[in-house]
Structure 1
C-alpha cells in the first residue's frame, strides 16, 4: 500500500497563477525570466555567490517552480 504524499507549499499570487495558466495553454514555450548584469571593477566571487544564495533563501519566489498536483 502506498503512503500518502505530504506536500508543502505556499499560495501563489494572481500573477503567478496567470503565468502558470499561460504556460499550460502553450506547452511549447516555457515562461522564464532571464537577466544579464554587467559588473565593472574588482569582483569578489565568493561574496557574490553568497549574496545570490541569500537572495534565493530570502526571496523564495525567485526560485519558484510551479507544479500541478493530481486531483
Structure 2
C-alpha cells in the first residue's frame, strides 16, 4: 500500500469513525427493532485508525514496523 492509498484509507476510516460517534450519541428511540451496534463500529474503526497511522509513520520514515515482543531474544 503506497502513500496515496494509505491516506485515502485513513480518510475513509476517519469518516466512518465520525459517523459512528455521531450515531452513537443520538438518543434511543423505543420501538425500533434493529439497531447498528455503533460502539462496536467505533472500536473497530479505532483499531483500524491506529494501524493506518502506524503504517503511515513507517511510510514517512522509511523504517518498517517491527513488533517488540516477537523475533528478539526471549520473544515468542
TM-score norm. by structure 2 comes to 0.25
TM-score norm. by structure 1 comes to 0.26
